[in-house]
A and B are shown apart, each in its own frame.
Chain A
């Protein structure tokens, strides 16, 4: 609970830094090779392009429907917006960030049931939705910041989130290295179960802090069109959609890990070795990736 409060404090502090407008290339920032490298489509460029084109169409229909809604309050239009936002979320979370790296690494490091990875991924996405609504609500409505100033805060929160994730990863890594000597054989947990139980929720919150820029843009659009409550619903529908993708990555990691375990089940020594290797690899990935993302986000502030 105290940790949670500290995290919330960090977000508030970050938001209080002031109206810097970062990340949005039209208004501020400069190109960064690190940011580009962490966002470039890579080997799945055609899948990515197809998903992007679908998102373009969805974005267009959602905005048209939201405008229609202003004045009519039609239930049918609202439901359409929610379904479309959900689909947008599924596609959108294929993109970088959204905590997929954290989910994947976490479930590589620990033997868990796949349902837990669904819960983990869903909570990250849900918190990201809450974060977007709070950001637009607090800065856009209460403090009446301009729309671009609100959007610019995404980059600031990103830096805080990546830094916290990196710290938590480092903490997990230390435990994995120092605790694995005496704890690794208990029920096959790569990191001590009590320590992991504590790092899990903190990781969820830290990774969930980063609101999605698209959710922010949709909320701002809803706000400008006088349908902010619908925007909130749409943001959560988007979160639900993103939860599908993010959880999917988690489930894949769980199955991937158990496949690896089966490969080494022949020898107890090798199985224990794998256990320890994965227990260290997971946090190492979390640290490495979040530092890379942190540098990318930082260079754009």
Chain B
């Protein structure tokens, strides 16, 4: 009887815990695409393009651009970078990148740009990368994910990944959609880009 009661309490606890945790809770929706940039002998970086949903784009437009329609100015780009992008450094720009199974810490990104396409804000920025311990072939895994689930990231439906300057290498990329991955906080579902690259024989 005692065991039964304990069971009831435990099941109850777990149910309530899950009731508040099962999270379909995004507030911001971003569709992203990636351009993998190669150098002569190695990967050189990643140019990411984030397209925001209209509502969040509207907030950026209302608060941080001088003109409310049409093209924005370089000064606007600076404002947006300062006010609604730079803080993402705290979050590692939501990037979860591994090269040859080694997690890559994203300390700095460069060449931030923003434009408005229709009503949508489109961010672009470059993540410099290098392969520290070379293998053949090398594997890079790229996921964009917000652990706090404030932002929902989805890989663009078509042409999500392009290769740039890859002539000197044997390189190819695969898009994996809605992959179940286990994190420290439990399972999550996210899109994944996996590329392999090696020097040509």
**Complex: how many Å from CA A23 to CA B85?**
14
- Does the CB pair A39–B152 fall under 8 Å? no
User: Does B12 count as interface, using CB distance less than 8 angstroms?
Assistant: yes
Spot the interface stretch: A1-9, A29-37, A173-181: A29-37
Whether A148 contacts B84 by the Cβ 8 Å rule is yes
Measured between C-beta atoms, what is the minimum distance from A131 to chain B in Å?
A: 16
B107 within 8 A of A: no
**Cβ–Cβ < 8 Å partners of B26 in chain A:** 52, 55-56, 95
CB distance from B13 to the nearest CB of A (A): 7
CB pair A60 B59 closer than 8 Å? no
A270 within 8 A of partner (CB): yes
Instruction: Report the separation of the CA atoms of residues A51 and B26 in the bound assembly, to the nearest whole angstrom.
Output: 10
Chain B nearest CB: distance from A153 CB in Å? 14
Give the docked Cα–Cα distance between A277 and B12 (Å).
Answer: 11
Contact of B25 among A43, A44, A97 (CB under 8 A): A97
Q: Among A74-82, A183-191, A214-222, which stretch is in contact with chain B?
A: A214-222
Is B128 an interface position by the 8 A CB rule?
no
- Cα-based distance from A218 to B23 in the complex (angstroms): 20
The answer to whether the Cβ of A73 comes within 8 Å of any Cβ in the partner chain is no
Are A31 and B147 in touch, CB under 8 angstroms? yes
Taking a contact as CB atoms under 8 Å apart, the answer to whether B90 and A56 are in contact is no
Count of chain B residues near A, Cβ 8 A = 57
List of B residues within 8 angstroms of A60 by Cβ: 29, 53-54
In the complex the two chains form, is A97's CB within 8 Å of B20's CB?
Answer: yes
Q: Report the nearest A residue to B22, measured CB to CB.
A: A44
Query: Is A27 interfacial (CB 8 A cutoff)?
Result: yes
Contacting residues, chain A, for B83 (C-beta < 8 A)? 27, 148
A-B pair count, CB < 8 Å, reads 216
Give Cα A266–Cα B150 distance, bound, in whole angstroms. Answer: 48
**Nearest CB in chain B: distance from A126 CB, A:** 19
Partner of A29, one of B13, B24, B90, B154: B90
In B14-61, the 8 Å CB interface with A consists of 15-29, 53-56, 58-59, 61
Is A225 part of the binding interface, using a Cβ–Cβ cutoff of 8 Å?
yes
Closest-CB distance, A238 to chain B (whole angstroms): 12
Stretch at the interface among A10-18, A99-107, A111-119, A197-205: A99-107
State the majority secondary structure of interface residues on A: helix
Name which residue of chain B comes closest to A49, CB basis.
B189
Binds A, one of B70-78, B161-169, B179-187: B179-187
Q: Are B5 and A274 in contact (CB under 8 A)?
A: yes
The CA-CA distance from A105 to B18 in the complex, in Å, is: 12
B88 to A: closest C-beta gap in Å: 6
Per the 8 Å Cβ criterion, residues 117-147 of A in contact with B are 146-147
Q: How far is it, in angstroms, between the C-alpha of A148 and the C-alpha of B62 when the chains are bound? A: 9
**What distance in Å separates the Cβ of B134 from its nearest Cβ neighbour in chain A?**
31
Q: Does B141 lie at the interface of the complex (its beta carbon under 8 Å from any beta carbon of A)?
A: no
Cβ contact within 8 Å between B5 and A277: yes
Q: B146 in the interface, Cβ–Cβ < 8 Å? A: yes
B17 partner residues in chain A, CB cutoff 8 A: 289
**Inter-chain contact A95/B24, CB cutoff 8 Å:** yes
Q: Which of the listed residues A46, A147, A264, A278 has the most CB atoms from chain B within 10 Å of its own CB?
A: A147
The 4 nearest A-B residue pairs measured at CB: A95-B25, A51-B24, A49-B189, A40-B185
List 6 A–B pairs whose Cβ atoms lie within 8 Å, in order of A's numbering: A30-B91, A40-B147, A40-B149, A40-B185, A101-B16, A213-B150
Binding site for B on A (CB under 8 A): 23-32, 35-49, 51-53, 55-56, 59-60, 63-64, 67, 91-92, 94-97, 100-101, 104-105, 108, 146-148, 151, 213-214, 217-218, 220-221, 224-225, 249, 252-253, 256, 260, 263-264, 267, 270, 273-274, 277-278, 281, 285, 289
